[in-house]
Amino acid sequence: MTLRRTSRRTALQQSLAVAGMLAAAGLLPRTALAYTQGAFDAKSVADVIKALGAGAPAESKDVTITGPDIAENGAVVPLGASTTLPNVKQLAMLVEKNPNTMVALFNVTDAVEPNFLTRAKLGQSSDVYAVAITDDGKAFYAKKEVKVTLGGCGG
């Protein structure tokens, strides 16, 4: 699940193109960032948080990760990330044992609840994380284990 190794320059060009398109469509919020290639390339929870420019992460009861205890299929694992913390600018979903740790990054605005659901691929059983990053660059996380089981028939 590694991202194709685009060079930093290509990635930047793509990001600029995206930003331009979104701006043209009037869709660019003030909080929009260029595609955070570095964070998507990171291979550990710590490296993702570092790449997102946040400080050492702390576990927090105010961050919630939802997901099944057991997934019948690692190709589709429903995950939810939410927080009740104030001043959160980003919510990320991470899968510790994937080749690339970060699955998705949601930029929070005042117009939406800091609560997102999506579905992720898990290469194997792993801890999954929700990480909330505040305006002042602090990272808070919650995690839970998702077991991926082997399916029937084997072929």
- Site for other proteins, rule CB under 8 A: 1-4, 6, 14, 17-18, 21-22, 25-29, 31-33, 35-36, 40, 59, 67-73, 75-78, 95, 98-100, 102-107, 109-113, 115-121, 127, 143, 145, 147, 149-155
Please state the closest distance from residue 136 (CB atom) to other proteins, in A: 21
Please state the closest distance from residue 76 (CB atom) to other proteins, in A: 4
- For other proteins, the closer CB: 89 or 134: 89
- In this structure, which amino acid lies at residue 141? Y
The C-alpha atoms of residue 146 and residue 70 are separated, in whole angstroms, by 6
- For other proteins, the closer CB: 101 or 134: 101
- For other proteins, the closer CB: 86 or 152: 152
The C-alpha atoms of residue 49 and residue 34 are separated, in whole angstroms, by 16
The C-alpha atoms of residue 144 and residue 64 are separated, in whole angstroms, by 9
Please state the closest distance from residue 153 (CB atom) to other proteins, in A: 5
Please state the closest distance from residue 118 (CB atom) to other proteins, in A: 5
Please state the closest distance from residue 38 (CB atom) to other proteins, in A: 12
User: What tokens does 22 get?
Assistant: 């979104």
The answer to whether 129 and 65 have CB atoms below 8 angstroms apart is yes
- Taking Cα atoms as reference points, which of 81, 46, 55, 40 lies closest to residue 134? 55
User: What tokens does 148 get?
Assistant: 């991926």
Q: Is 27 helix (H, G, I), strand (E, B) or coil?
A: coil
- For other proteins, the closer CB: 54 or 103: 103
